[in-house]
Structure 1
Amino acid sequence: MSIGQHIITERFYGAKSHTIDNVDIVLSRECGENTLAVVRINNALYQLLVNDDGKDVLNDHVEEVGASFGAWTGSSAFPIGPFTPLGTEQSNSSFITADNKAIVKYFRKLESGQNPDVELISKISSCPNIAPILGFSSAEISGANYTLVMAQQYVPGLDGWSHALTTTSGSFAEDAEKIGEATRNVHTALASAFPTRVVPVEALADALTTRLNELISQAPEIARFKEAAIDLYQSLEGEAHIQRIHGDLHLGQLIKTPERYILIDFEGEPARPLNQRRLPDSPLKDLAGIIRSIDYAAYFDGEHTQWANEATALFLDGYGSIEDQELLNAYILDKALYEVAYEINNRPDWVKIPLEAVERLLD
């Protein structure tokens, strides 16, 4: 089978610009007519269900795969199918049960340690702006523990990105305000469930500089912004609160219900190592993610600058007081630079949107 040949077409494979040097099967078992496998591609592990040709076919065989290689932990057994693929672009694979009561997510790129999606949501189950965890599976692979699958209560509704694109010619202000309120509620819950602390802003600026260098190594096109970005980061001063946060918040990570918005996918940025995604950070990072996502929606089909400005203002009003506007600006720049690197490696046709944003931010 030729796994390397097929995986480069998969949405969850995030290294499309890199040459595949080796493919090793670390763990496998027969699963009907296919093979369930944990595969090391270059230096990363992926969870796949492949046919004889090496093509991933998980979408059609969830009932057979079940909890994968892992032991199931939860308030109930693994959900009962049949299952329907969620059908949206994401770095993992999610499926909805026929009764619309549960959504099952298979983590595709595996990293050792408990996945933040399970870790964070499990501790804030009473928050009205999350979907409770029903269970998860984990397994020991090569001496380390990995989260393989999780199930959550399914919340029907349109994701925030899709909803925003239908309102770019009108106003997104009311929705943006509700998103701000939901984000504040989740941050408050996380601050109660996990430790918080105060750090010098210089430490956050140093982390942003380190990340900038990492992004340049992934996408050398960013290097031309390095001097201006570092100047902005080094101008920051004072102190800031840090805590556990969502880590990759954007409109696509929100579900609109008649009453409120629900935050989903607490894994953090898929391109960052899991041990970094589990570190506390400023809540302003999540705010920057939403602000950048509003900008994406406004510029996706044309320019709607006034729409974006109004929605951003109402989002911040809904969230409440902002600790440090200059630090927020730095996180917005950081997010835009990250988006440039991400789009170069995943959706080159989209790179113009964040590139123009970086130029505006540094002008």
Structure 2
Amino acid sequence: MSIAQHIITERFYGAKSHTIDNVDIVLSQPCGNNTLAIVRINNAYYQLLVDDDGKDVLGDHVSEVGASFGTWSGNSAFPTGPFHELGSEQSNSSFISADNQVIVKYFRKLEAGLNPDVELLSKISDCPNIAPVLGFSEAQLHGHDYTLVMAQQFIPGDNAWKHALRTTATSFAADAEKIGQATHNVHAALSEAFPTAVVPVDNLAAALIARLDLLIAQAPELKQFKQPAIEIYQALEGNARIQRIHGDLHLGQLLKTAEDYVLIDFEGEPARPLAQRRLPDSPLRDLAGIIRSIDYAANLDGSHDQWVTEATAFFLAGYGSIDDQELLNAYILDKALYEVAYEINNRPDWVNIPLEAVEKLLD
């Protein structure tokens, strides 16, 4: 079989610009007519169900795969199929049960440790702006636990990104305000469930600079922005509150229900190591993600600056007071720089959107 030949076509494989040097099957077992496998590709682990040709076919065999290699933990058994796939995702694969009550997510790129999607949501199940966890599966590999699968209550709703694109000719203000309120509610719940701290902003600036170096390694095109970005980060002053956050918040990570918005996918940025994604950070990082997503929506639809300005203002008003506007601006810049590296590796045709944003932010 040729896993390398097929993996580069999968959306969950985020290293398309890198040459595949080796593919090793670390763990495998028969699963019907196919093979369930954990595969190491260039030192990264992936969970696949492959046919004889090496093509991933998990989407057609969820009921057979079940809890995968792991041991199921939860208040109920693994949900009953059949299942249908929930569209295309960038990092994982999700499926809805036949009764539309449960959504099952298979983590595709695997890292050692409890996945934040399970860890965070399990502790804030009473928050009205999240989908509660019903169960999850873990397996041990080389002495470390890996989260393989999770099940959540399925909440029907409209994707906020798609909804925003439909409103670019009118106004997104009312929705943006509700998104701000939902984000505030989730941050408040996380701050009660997990430890918080106050740290010097210099610590956050140092982390932003270190991340910039990593992004430049992924996308050398960013080197031209290094010095002006560092100057912005080093100019930050004072202290800042940190806590557990969503970590990769954008409009695509929200569902619009009849009355409110629900935040989903609490894994954090897929390009960051899991250990980093589990660290406390400023809530302003999540706000920056939404603000950049609003700008993306406007750019894709050719909307005017007024739409962006209005939606951003209502989003921040819905969230409430902002401790440090300069720190928020720094996180917006950090997010735009991350987006450049991401688009180069995943959607090269979109790279001009964040590039223009970086140039504007540094002007």
Equivalents in 2 of 1:258, 1:271: separation in Å?
A: 33
Which residue is 2:230 aligned to?
230
1:265-304 correspondence to structure 2 within 5 Å: 265-304=265-304
Where 1:205 maps in the other structure, the secondary structure is helix
Query: 1:95-126 CA distances to partner (integer Å, 9 max, x unpaired)?
Result: 00111100000000000000000000000000
Equivalents in 1 of 2:90, 2:155: separation in Å?
A: 17
Alpha-carbon RMSD? 0.5
Which residue is 2:59 aligned to?
59
Where 1:203 maps in the other structure, the secondary structure is helix
Q: Would the aligned equivalents of 2:201 and 2:239 in 1 still touch at CA under 8 Å?
A: yes
Which residue is 2:41 aligned to?
41
Equivalents in 2 of 1:135, 1:145: separation in Å?
A: 16
Instruction: Look up the equivalent residue of 1:301 and give its one-letter code.
Output: D
Query: 1:56-111 CA distances to partner (integer Å, 9 max, x unpaired)?
Result: 00010101100000000001110111100001332100000111100000000000
Q: Would the aligned equivalents of 2:48 and 2:108 in 1 still touch at CA under 8 Å?
A: yes
Equivalents in 2 of 1:142, 1:23: separation in Å?
A: 17
Equivalents in 1 of 2:6, 2:269: separation in Å?
A: 24
Query: 1:241-260 CA distances to partner (integer Å, 9 max, x unpaired)?
Result: 00000000000000000111
Which residue is 1:197 aligned to?
197
Equivalents in 2 of 1:297, 1:190: separation in Å?
A: 28
Which residue is 2:19 aligned to?
19
Equivalents in 2 of 1:213, 1:40: separation in Å?
A: 26
TM-superposed deviation, 1:143: 1.2
TM-superposed deviation, 1:303: 3.4
Which residue is 2:165 aligned to?
165
Equivalents in 2 of 1:2, 1:223: separation in Å?
A: 36
Equivalents in 1 of 2:320, 2:124: separation in Å?
A: 21
1:242-281 correspondence to structure 2 within 5 Å: 242-281=242-281
TM-superposed deviation, 1:334: 0.1
Instruction: Look up the equivalent residue of 1:23 and give its one-letter code.
Output: V
**Does residue 1:326 correspond to 2:332, yes or no?**
no
- Which segments of 5 or more consecutive residues in structure 2 lack a partner in the other structure? none
1:123-134 correspondence to structure 2 within 5 Å: 123-134=123-134
Q: Would the aligned equivalents of 2:169 and 2:303 in 1 still touch at CA under 8 Å?
A: no
Structure 1, 176-185 or 300-309: larger mean CA deviation: 300-309
Query: 1:204-256 CA distances to partner (integer Å, 9 max, x unpaired)?
Result: 00000000000000000000000110000000000000000000000000000
Identity of aligned residues (%): 78
Instruction: Look up the equivalent residue of 1:112 and give its one-letter code.
Output: A
Where 2:344 maps in the other structure, the secondary structure is helix
Which residue is 1:151 aligned to?
151
Which residue is 1:111 aligned to?
111
Instruction: Look up the equivalent residue of 1:79 and give its one-letter code.
Output: P
Which residue is 1:353 aligned to?
353
Equivalents in 1 of 2:23, 2:99: separation in Å?
A: 38
Number of residues paired by the alignment?
363
Equivalents in 2 of 1:4, 1:125: separation in Å?
A: 39
Structure 1, 90-99 or 331-340: larger mean CA deviation: 90-99
Which residue is 2:137 aligned to?
137
**Does residue 1:312 correspond to 2:312, yes or no?**
yes
Equivalents in 2 of 1:42, 1:299: separation in Å?
A: 35
Q: Would the aligned equivalents of 2:205 and 2:233 in 1 still touch at CA under 8 Å?
A: yes
Q: Would the aligned equivalents of 2:50 and 2:56 in 1 still touch at CA under 8 Å?
A: yes
TM-superposed deviation, 1:142: 1.4
Runs of 4+ with deviation above 4 angstroms: none
Equivalents in 2 of 1:21, 1:303: separation in Å?
A: 43
Equivalents in 1 of 2:304, 2:107: separation in Å?
A: 36
Query: 1:263-314 CA distances to partner (integer Å, 9 max, x unpaired)?
Result: 0000000000000000000000000000000000011121321101100000
Query: 1:145-186 CA distances to partner (integer Å, 9 max, x unpaired)?
Result: 000000000010111101001101100000000000000000
Equivalents in 2 of 1:12, 1:319: separation in Å?
A: 31
Instruction: Look up the equivalent residue of 1:298 and give its one-letter code.
Output: A
Structure 1, 312-321 or 84-93: larger mean CA deviation: 84-93
